[in-house]
Structures are given as C-alpha cells and as structure tokens.
Structure 1
C-alpha cells in the first residue's frame, strides 16, 4: 500500500482524578487493531475417550461425565485441545518483550505514515479503552490533531516559548520544534500519573509495532492555556505529555541500561 502523506497531531488528556467515576469513556472503532500480537495458539482437533483427566481449560468445560463411559455405545468424544500451551505462552511473552524493545525515541520523523490515518485513530481509541485506571475512574482523555491542526500546535508552542528562551538558545529550540512539526502527530495525556504513563507507553508501543516512530515531549504546563483555548479543552482536563509520531526518517540513538545488580532484587526464590 502506498504510504499516506498527511500532517496530523494527536493530543491525549484526561479529567482530573476524583473518587468517583462520574463519566464513562466510549469510542466507536472503525476496526480493531488485530495486527499487533498473536496471543493464542491455534486449536487442533484430536480423538480421545472420556477417560481424559480433568482440565481447567475452557475448551474442555463441556466434557461428559464419567458415567457416560458405562453406556452401551462407548462412543468416542472429539475434544479440541490447544497445541503446546506452555510453548505458546513463552512465545507470547517473547513477542510482547520484543515490542517493548522496539519502542524507542525516534526524533527524525516525516509525514509519510506507513498505515492509514483511520487506523492510527482506531489504535489510539483501543488503547484509551483498554488501559486500566485507578478504581476504574477512566480518567484518561485524548485529543487527536491532524493536518493544519497539528502544525498549529507547534506554532503555538514556539510562540509561547520564544519570550522565555534566551536569544542565544532560540535557534536550537526553534529547530527542535520544527522537527516535531515535520512529523504527523503528537499525543499528550493527562490523568492520575500511573494511568497516564500506561496510556503513553501503550500508545507508543502499539504505534511503533505498526512501523511508526515516536518521541515523548512535555511542554506542559507552558502551553496548557493556549491549547485549551484553541481546541475547547474542558477546564478539568490536565495536559501531561505530547507523543510525537510519524514516519521514520532516521534511526533511534543508542540506549544504555544500568546493570540489573543495581536495579533489581528478588527474594524467596
């Protein structure tokens, strides 16, 4: 499929945390993002007798009782069973970890999306629905900006920052903002901290699984008032981050990790 050339911006936000879930988030998806992970092994059909040991697998929940063996027919029961469930579980966790590894900061982006704009929207909607929140408060909110609306966000950001940045540093700041503007979309989110962080991570990972690049920015709270006024954001939404994503125009830089001896402990093993 020919890449789609467009400009877009994705801002995510959410209502401030309250002790009750006063609103319910609903979204209509064009189609679910079923392309990301294969989490289930295919079922195979085998022929066995009713003497098969009891299993907690849902696929076997309708086995006949042992008394059925005493019937005259002694008929065999065809029972679908998952193939190599332990191996399948290992493969699924490995697939997830590989997706986590692929989530990197790509700063060289362009407007050539490898997937249609509607698919980007549906992926973000699905993440918004599925990411958990404290006490199911459903506090995350998302604003998606495409085309000229995306460009407008970075023009606003430059206008806000220019009076605050020393003149000798402005060229570097302006260049950085121009790089963000060259990409199709940023995503920002606001909510209780653990929930918004999970939404950012989920969106970042799933979009990169589709071949997009992304980087996370934090121009809040400097741009909060202008963004709220421009796009009619409710006063109880709080901006927390902007996930800029688009087509990859370069590679991610190297990434170092602290040794696990400094970051990880285990007890009782």
Structure 2
C-alpha cells in the first residue's frame, strides 16, 4: 500500500466494535513505536501516550459521561450525548490518551528563550503529528479510530483514575476498534481555495 492509499484509508470511524485481532500488548507496542518515531521540536519528545483497553477503556467513557451530565443542558440532550459516547467511543476496543508534558515545554522555553513564544504551538504540532502517525498505523491494520476532545472537562478525573503525572496536560482522546461501518464519503473544498504553486 502506498502512502497516498494509506492516507485515503485513514478516516474518522464512529461505528467501532471490539473485534480487533491484536492483543492489548501488541497494540500498545504498535502505538508506542508510532509515537516514538514521530518528530518533535528539538527532539523534545513532549508527547506522552496512555493506552486503555478492557475495563480501563470503559471506565474512561463512563467517567466522561459523568462529567458531561454535570454540564448537560437537559436530560434529553444528555441522552443524545450518552448514545453517541456509548455507540461511537465506548463500543470500541480501546482508547489512546495523548498528553503534552508541560515540564518539557517550560524547560525548552528556558533553554532557548529566543524561541520561547513558539514552544506551545510547536508542542501542539508534535501532538498532531504523533496522533496522525498512530491513526495511520491503526488504519494500516484495518483498525478504525477517531479523535475526540473532552479535555479539559475530564482532565482531573483522568489524572486521578489513571495516576497521570501533574505536568501532563490531556490534549485528545482516540477511541479505536474494529470497523463496523465505513465512514461517509469525504468532501473537499476546491483546490484553488487551499493551495498555491509559485515557480
């Protein structure tokens, strides 16, 4: 499979299941290697990843629902949210949590003050590259995924439940699992509205 073909294969999959052929340990190692090989500014390796499967994965999404219930506009709205969380995220095999280690980012600001205003943005770039690397690696093995952002709503609950260091800031949650239904066709804006070539 070419890189372009793999890019097209990687989609946001919301119909997830638990029929994944790899073990939690195999998935952990696969995800770990994808993050390790992803670039980061000054090779800072500020991206941290926590892989949840089984009861830990289900616990995450039950905790998320508990936090969402506190801020839900109505019972009807919460029921719709519950259906989405249980059907599209908790139904999967696992979740990858992505964090930025703020100690590393702050250390870089001190080491290279000339670039200090950029390090927060560069840390976000590192998160994006790492999660895309994992997403592509999962797609290569026919494992579906999406990226969610219930942070900062669930930050404290996640830190307490999974013993996360205080300096790690949650930046995204990636539920993954077997693909139970394909993604909708992808649409694109016109190329001339996004791209320019000067020669």
Shorter-normalised TM-score: what interval? Answer: 0.7 to 0.9
Tell me the equivalent position of 1:173: 81
Tell me the equivalent position of 2:57: 150
Question: Tell me, what secondary structure is at the counterpart of 1:162?
Answer: helix
Which of the residues 239, 242, 249 maps onto 2:173? Answer: 242
Q: Do 1:110 and 1:246's aligned partners in 2 also have CA atoms closer than 8 Å?
A: yes
Tell me the equivalent position of 1:262: 193
Structure 1 unmatched ranges of 5 or more: 1-36, 38-94
- The structure with the largest alpha-carbon Rg is 1
After TM superposition, the score normalised by the length of structure 1 is 0.63
Q: Do 2:53 and 2:95's aligned partners in 1 also have CA atoms closer than 8 Å?
A: no
1:188 Cα deviation after fit: 2.4
How many pairs were matched up?
175
Q: Do 1:114 and 1:210's aligned partners in 2 also have CA atoms closer than 8 Å?
A: no
| Alpha-carbon distance in 1 for matches of 2:36, 2:66 | 34
Structure 2 unmatched ranges of 5 or more: 101-122
Question: Tell me, what secondary structure is at the counterpart of 1:266?
Answer: coil
Q: Which has the higher helix share?
A: 2
1:117 Cα deviation after fit: 2.7
1:185 aligns with 2:111: no
Question: Tell me, what secondary structure is at the counterpart of 2:13?
Answer: coil
Tell me the equivalent position of 1:136: 43
Q: Do 2:149 and 2:173's aligned partners in 1 also have CA atoms closer than 8 Å?
A: yes
1:145 Cα deviation after fit: 1.3
Tell me the equivalent position of 1:105: 12
Q: Do 1:114 and 1:212's aligned partners in 2 also have CA atoms closer than 8 Å?
A: no
Question: Tell me, what secondary structure is at the counterpart of 1:267?
Answer: coil
Question: Tell me, what secondary structure is at the counterpart of 2:99?
Answer: coil
| Alpha-carbon distance in 2 for matches of 1:232, 1:165 | 27
| Alpha-carbon distance in 2 for matches of 1:261, 1:116 | 45
1:250 Cα deviation after fit: 0.8
Q: Counterparts in 2 of 1:1-269, with a 5 A limit?
A: 95-167=2-74, 168-179=76-87, 180-191=89-100, 192-268=123-199
Report the aligned-residue RMSD. Answer: 1.1
| Alpha-carbon distance in 2 for matches of 1:186, 1:254 | 24
1:112 Cα deviation after fit: 0.8
Question: Tell me, what secondary structure is at the counterpart of 1:216?
Answer: coil
